[in-house]
Structures are given as structure tokens and as C-alpha cells.
Structure 1
Amino acid sequence: MKTLPVMILLFLALNLSPPPANAQEGLKSIGIRSGISAKKKHEYFHQYEMFTEYGLPWDWRGDSGWGLGVKLDASAGALYGGKAIGFIGTLGPGFSFSKGNRGFAADIGSSLVILNKRNFGTQNFAGKLQFLIYLGLNYRFDNGLGLGYRIQHMSNAGLYNSVNPGLDLHMAAISWNF
């Protein structure tokens, strides 16, 4: 778990930068997420993580305010399964269909995943590099608080021969939105 203090410092450093003039760019939210296995394969899993989202400069909006924004998602946390605990970190792009910074938002994205171990009990992920895709729904209140849900799938996409067990998680989130 030597990687966790480094990820926490990086997370804090990136989030202490001043907000940009354009509200769609820069730091969009920080928060915590927790999830459980959608179904048991070899082991039952749960995950806890802190996350952040950064708005990227590409944003397409109609006159109504509804539109598609591009973001960069990053997270660092712990994955539990098979009586083992390991570090999990993610980084990747995402898209958010919303009406600005408040109200409902539908998200889709993908990330590179780094695990500090590949075996969790009888579950063998075959390698420390994985890939993640997700679909989510969030609600951002006027006071900045946000609640969210997403279903995510993690697998190695066949990188390590034919061993590709995959992991599906239901994740709930609470966030502070800027």
C-alpha cells in the first residue's frame, strides 16, 4: 500500500488549484464512492474510493443548456475480495449529458485501472493493468451536493492470454460539485 500516500498527495495537489474562468472546465467535483459486486464469480467484492472529475475544454450545449461535456475522471481507493485488500487507481475520459452544473446528468466513460495485486482469494485478474467502463446517473443539487449511481465493469480485455475474469460493481457516490 505504498502507492496510496502518493495518490492522496497527488489528489490533494490537483484539487487545490484555482478554478478556471469557464465553469465547464477545470475541477468539477470531488467525492467518495462505494460499491458491491453485481454478482459473485469466484469471490464477492466491495470497493471504496475517493474520486475527482475535471471538465475538459470540449463542451457542446444547446440554447436550453442541455448538452454534452467531456471530463477526466481519476480515483484512488481500496478493493476488497477473497479476504484480501488491494489498492485500485483509475484515470480516464468520460462524457456527461446534462444541463450545466446542476440537476440530472447521465455519464459514460472508460478508464485505465492499476491494481497493486492481481490475486484476491481465488479470483485471479491475471495482471495489475485492467480497463474499466461505466454508465452512471447523478443528481447535483443547487447547494453543490451530489448523489450518484453507476454500474461499472472492470476486466483485462484479454491482455493476459485467455484469463479475463472481469468484475461488475454497483457503485453509489456522494460528491461536492463546483
Structure 2
Amino acid sequence: MRYAVSLLYLLVIIGTATLPAPARAGEGSWEYVGGRGGINATGKGALREYEGFVAYLLPWGLGEHGGWRLNTKANGSMGMLQGSGRYGFIATMGPGLSLESPGVPLELDGGVNLAFISQDVYDGRDLNGNLQFVTHIGLNLRVAGPIGVGYRFHHMSNADLNGRQNPGVNMHLFSVIWYFDK
């Protein structure tokens, strides 16, 4: 299964690296692509998540000149959840915001994603449905040229949409990021 995750990361990186850049500034652009993995934050069970991800900068933002900038973006990911010998597919997509300042290699990142999971029971914990919502907040640090690392805390739950139990899962995720030139 480890090779499948590595192959997924490679496909996401190759696929997004071949996409054309926008013709003019302000039309949006690919911001970064990468891989991340992590563990259940509550210590209940051994749930793990591994995924490839991409972020697309949207043309709308605040604070264009000199100071801090609030960016809008579209986020997407595909990967797997693993716990107690069970494996399942996860795919997410949704809007995000990031706060950054020119010349500072640190970015505050947050967002809300709609998620689909192929299995909804891990470690004896029933997530009650294949449709989930993921909210996240994290920090990304550009460390050398186009290479960055990141930390993300995310919460996944069914938002009580099905009227049944809504246990939710909190995760600590760590990222390796490849930034496209801005």
C-alpha cells in the first residue's frame, strides 16, 4: 500500500506540473502541489491519512500592495485513510484562505472542504456516512526555493447531515510542498 501512496503523489505532481500558467497576473495560478500524512489527534485508535494535494490561487484577494495579503484559493486532494487493517479512499475539494506577507516565508492557511470517503468505519469508530466535511487550519513554511513544509490540524465530520451520530475525527497532518513560481 505504501507504493500506491507514493504513486498517487507522483501522479498529482506530474499532472499539475504540466498545467499551463495563466496568461496575465490576476487570472489565478497554481500555487503548490505536495503530499501529506498524519495521525489521529485524539489518540483513540490508530487512524492515519495519506494524500496528494493541490492548491489553485483564485484571482480575488485583499491587500495587494506592501503589507499582508489575504488570498482565496481552491484546494483539492486524493489519498487514503488507514486504521485497524482497513483501507479507504478519500477525496476532498473546497475553498480556502491564506494570509501571507511579501518577504516572509510563512503562510497561515485555512479552509473548508467537502470530502468523500469510501469506508466510514475505522478502528471500530463509525463516521456515519461517506459524505464528510473537513475544516482545517495550518502553517506552511517555504524553506528553500520552491520547497516547503507544512503542518495542518483538520477536523472531519458528517456535520450531522444524516441525523445520526456525528463522531468526527481530528488529525495532525505534516506536508512536503512544491511551490510554483508566483
- TM-score range with shorter-chain normalisation? 0.7 to 0.9
Call closer, same or farther: CA 1:140–1:102 in 2, change over 3 Å. farther
Aligned mates of 1:24, 1:127 — CA distance in 2: 37
Q: 1:82–1:123: 8 Å Cα contact kept in structure 2?
A: no
Match of 2:39 in 1: 36
Match of 1:27 in 2: 30
Gap regions ≥5 residues in structure 2: none
State the Cα distance separating 1:16 from its structure 2 match: 2.3
Gap regions ≥5 residues in structure 1: none
- Aligned residues, how many? 175
Instruction: Tell me the amino acid that sits aligned with residue 59 of structure 2.
Output: P
Match of 1:68 in 2: 70
Deviations 1:120-150 (A, max 9, x none): 2411111100000001011124511111101
Match of 1:175 in 2: 177
Q: 2:12–2:53: 8 Å Cα contact kept in structure 1?
A: no
Q: Does 1:162 align with 2:181?
A: no
Deviations 1:101-133 (A, max 9, x none): 861100110100100111224111111000000
Call closer, same or farther: CA 1:101–1:89 in 2, change over 3 Å. farther
Which of these residues, 83, 90, 96, is aligned with residue 81 of structure 1?
A: 83
- Which SS does the other structure have where 1:28 is aligned? strand
Deviations 1:40-95 (A, max 9, x none): 34x32111100000001102225324210000110000101122110011001000
Aligned mates of 2:172, 2:12 — CA distance in 1: 26
Call closer, same or farther: CA 1:29–1:69 in 2, change over 3 Å. same
Q: Normalising by the residue count of structure 2, what TM-score does the alignment of the two structures yield?
A: 0.85
The 10-residue stretch of structure 1 (69-78 or 9-18) with the greater mean CA deviation from structure 2: 9-18
- Which SS does the other structure have where 1:138 is aligned? strand
Q: Normalising by the residue count of structure 1, what TM-score does the alignment of the two structures yield?
A: 0.87
**Aligned Cα root-mean-square deviation (Å):** 2.6
Call closer, same or farther: CA 1:29–1:102 in 2, change over 3 Å. farther
